[in-house]
A and B are shown apart, each in its own frame.
Chain A
Amino acid sequence: MSLMTFGIQLLNAFQYAMVLFLVASGLTLVFGILGYINLAHGAFYMLGAYLAYWIVAKTGSFALAMIGGTVIAFVLGVVLERTLVQRLYGRDHLMQVLLSFGLILVLDDARQILFGKDVHAVAPPAWLNGTIQLTDNLSYSVYRLAISAFCLVVAAVMFWVIARTRIGMMVRAGAENREMTRALGIGFDRLNRYVFAAGIALAALGGIVIAPISTVFPGMGDGMLILSFVVVVLGGIGSVGGAALGALLVGITDTFGKVFFPSISSILVYLLMAAVLVWRPSGLLGRGEI
C-alpha cells in the first residue's frame, strides 16, 4: 500500500467516522439526558436519506434537502416526544425497546407508502460533484471531503453548545444527575422535547449527507443502528466525547479491516466491541460501574 492509498483510506475512515458520530451522538444524547433507549434511531436515519432523495427529486436542491429534511425530522421528533416517548421516561427499558419496535414497523411502512421501496441514488450538489486528482490514477471525491468538513462543524457546534451555553449546562446537569437537576427546579419538559427532537434530527441529517455517496435503500437504518450502538458501547453511553472516540475507532477498524482482513472485516468492529467489554465494560470514556 502506497502512502497515497493509505492517505485515501485514512480520509475514507475519517469521513465514515464523522457520519457515524453524527448519528451516534444523537443516540447517546437522548439516552444520556432522557434515559430513553431509542432503537428507532436507525429508522430516522433511513427516513432522512429518503427525504433527501424526495426533496432533491422535487426541487433539485440539495441544500433544501438538508434543511427541509432536518426540520421535518425535528418536528417529527417533537410530536413523537409529546405523544409517546415522554410516557416512558423512567420506565422499564423493555417498554422503551418495544415502543421503538412498534415505531420502526410504522416508519418502515410509512416510508413504503410515501416513497416506495425502490433503491435510489441522490446526486450531490453540483459544485461539490467533482474529484481532486491526486496522482495519475488516484483521485478523491470532493463531496466526501465536504461531508467530513460539514460533520466537523456540526460536532464543533454541538460541543460548543454543550460546553458553553445555558442549554448545554442544563443538558450536562441532566446527564450527570437527573433527579438532582429536577429537584433544583430546572424545567425538564421542554428541554427533554428538544433534546429528543435534536437526536432524531441528527440521525436524519446523517442519512441526508450520506445519501449521495451510498444508495438509499429500505434496510439502511438497521445497519446504522447497530453501528451506532457499537459506537456508543465503545465510547461509554451518554458521553458525546465517547461517541466521537468510538466513531473514530469503528471508522478506522472498518475501513482498514476491509483492506487488510477482507474475509473477517464484517465482524471486526464487533470483535473490537467484545475486547472493550472485557477491558472496560462501561465504555472507554464511560463513568463508574454498571
Chain B
Amino acid sequence: MSFRAPSLAQALLVVALVVALTLPLFASVYYLQFASKVLITGVLAMGLNLAVGQGGMVSLCHGAFFGVAGYILALASPGYDAAPLLTTLPLAVIGSAALAFLIGCFALRTRGVYFIMVTLAFGEMLFYLFHDSGIAGGSDGAFINARPEILIAGRQWFSLDKPLAFYFVMLALTVVVAGLLTMLARSPFGHALAAVRDNERRARSLGFPIFRIRLSAFVISGALAGLAGYFAAAQFGFVAPQMLSWHVSAAALVMVLIGGLRSVTGPLIGALVLTGLEEVLKAEFENWKLIEGLIVILLVIVLAGGLRQLGFLTTSAQREEVAPASGAGHA
C-alpha cells in the first residue's frame, strides 16, 4: 500500500473546510448569513452541474424546481407558527423531484438547443402560473413568518431561527451533497451518464438505457435544486415568483461555468464568486446588473477563447478532456 501525497486541490479543500468550520469564531452575523446564502446557491449550482456538466443537459428550469420547493414551504407554513422541518423538507424535495420527473419526461425527448428552449418554456410556465394565479400572494409573493423547526412532544428540539444553527446546517448539507455527488460521479451510474453525454449513439449501442439514465440524473438534479430552494425560502422568510424565473437558472449556470463543468465542488467556488460579486456591486452601484452583465459577457468571451476550465483549483471527480465544443443541435 503506497502513501499518496495529498494534491493541491485536496489540501485547499481541507483549508476551505477548516475556514468554514471556524468562520463563526471571527465573522459577524452578517457574514454568517452571507456564507449561508453562498452555501445554498452552491448546493443549487452543484445540483445543476449534475445535469449540465455530467449529463450534458443545459437546463433552464432549475429555477422553477428551486422556487417550487420554496413555495411548498410557504404554503405548508401554518400562519405565524414555524413549519415542522422533518415533514416539510421531504415534502418540498419530493415535490421538486416529481416536477423534474414530469418536465424531464417531455423535455428529454429533445436534445441540445431544443432541450434548452423546452426547459425554458416549462420553467417560465410555472413562473407565470405562480405569478398570475392567486397562489401564495400571486405576483406579490408571500411571507414565511417563522423558520422551520423540529418539535418533539411539544418541545422545540431544534430551530433554523438562529443564524449560527442555520449556518451549520447549511455547511453540513453542503458537505453531504458534495460527498453524494462525488460518489455518484465515480459510480457506474456517473460513468454511464458521462458516456451518454459524450457519445449518445455509442452508449445506446452498448445497451445503456439512455432515457432512464438522463431522467434519473435530471430528477436528482432537480431534487437538489429543491433542497436549496427550501432553505433559501427559509432564510429569506419570503417567496416570490422571481424565485422560479429562468434568471435563477442562468445565474447558477454562470456559477457552474466559473467553477468548472467537470468538477463536483467547483460550482461552490462559482457560487462564492458570483454571490460575493453581487453583494459588492449592489452596495456600490445603482445599476449593478449592468456591471454584472458585462462581467458575465467578459467571462464567456474569455472562456470561449480557449481557457475552457477555470476550475483548476477544485477537485475533479473525473479528470478528463472536455468534449470538443460543437453545435450539438446541428446534426
Contacts and interface: CB of A to CB of B under 8 A. Distances in A.
A84 B327 contact: no
B297 A289 contact: no
Interface stretch (A11-19, A181-189, A230-238): A230-238
A112 interface: yes
Contact of A98 (B114, B120, B250): B250
Contact of B253 (A87, A98, A107, A274): A98
A93 B330 CA distance: 11
Contact of B121 (A87, A95, A108, A273): A273
A132 B327 CA distance: 50
Q: Point out which of A230, A267, A277 has the most chain B C-beta atoms below 10 A from its C-beta.
A: A277
A289 B331 contact: yes
A97 B293 contact: no
Given A84-B301, A97-B58, A281 B109 contact: yes
B110 A93 contact: no
B287 A277 contact: no
B290 to A, nearest CB: 4
A91 B304 contact: yes
Contacts of A223: 128
Interface string B84-114: 0000000000000000000000110111111
A281 B292 contact: no
Nearest to A177: B330
Contacts of A226: 120-121, 124-125
Interface residues of B, number: 53
A274 B109 CA distance: 10
Interface in B97-145: 106-107, 109-114, 116-118, 120-122, 124-125, 128-129, 132-133
A88 B304 CA distance: 7
Contacts of B128: 223, 266-267
B60 interface: yes
A104 B294 CA distance: 10
B73 interface: no
B304 A266 contact: no
Interface in B270-329: 287, 289-290, 292-297, 299-301, 303-305, 325-329
A109 B110 CA distance: 34
Interface in B228-286: 245, 247, 250-251, 253-254, 257, 261
B52 interface: yes
Given A93-B329, A101-B250, A282-B114, A87 B304 contact: yes
Given A109-B287, A266-B132, A288 B331 contact: yes
Contact of B289 (A37, A109, A274, A281): A109
- Consensus secondary structure, chain A interface: helix
Nearest to B133: A266
Contacts of B254: 98, 101
B48 to A, nearest CB: 11
| Interface size band for A | 35 or more
Nearest to A113: B287
Contacts of A91: 304, 325, 327
A1 interface: no
A274 to B, nearest CB: 5
B147 to A, nearest CB: 31
B121 A93 contact: no
Contact of A99 (B60, B109, B132, B297): B297
B289 A35 contact: no
Interface in A50-104: 84, 87-88, 90-95, 97-99, 101-104
Nearest to A83: B301
A277 B301 contact: no
Given A97-B60, A237-B114, A278-B109, A106 B125 contact: no
Contacts of B326: 90, 92
Contact of B58 (A31, A94, A110, A232): A94
A37 B328 CA distance: 12
Contacts of A229: 117, 120-121
A3 B245 CA distance: 40
B325 A290 contact: no
A290 B293 contact: no
A20 B17 CA distance: 51
Contacts of B52: 94
Contacts of A266: 125, 128-129, 132-133
Nearest to B123: A226
Contacts of B107: 277
B292 A105 contact: yes
A87 B301 contact: yes
A270 interface: yes
A290 B329 CA distance: 7
B242 to A, nearest CB: 10
Contacts of A35: 327, 329-330
A101 to B, nearest CB: 4
A277 B58 contact: no
Contacts of A120: none
A104 B110 contact: no
Given A37-B113, A273-B121, 14 more contacts: A37-B116, A87-B304, A90-B325, A101-B254, A103-B297, A106-B289, A106-B297, A107-B293, A112-B287, A222-B124, A226-B124, A266-B129, A266-B132, A290-B112
Nearest 4 A/B pairs, CB to CB: A105-B293, A102-B296, A109-B290, A106-B293
Interface of B: 52, 58, 60, 106-107, 109-114, 116-118, 120-122, 124-125, 128-129, 132-133, 245, 247, 250-251, 253-254, 257, 261, 287, 289-290, 292-297, 299-301, 303-305, 325-331
15 contacts: A94-B261, A95-B303, A97-B116, A98-B296, A98-B300, A99-B296, A99-B300, A107-B293, A178-B330, A229-B121, A230-B121, A233-B114, A237-B117, A267-B125, A290-B110
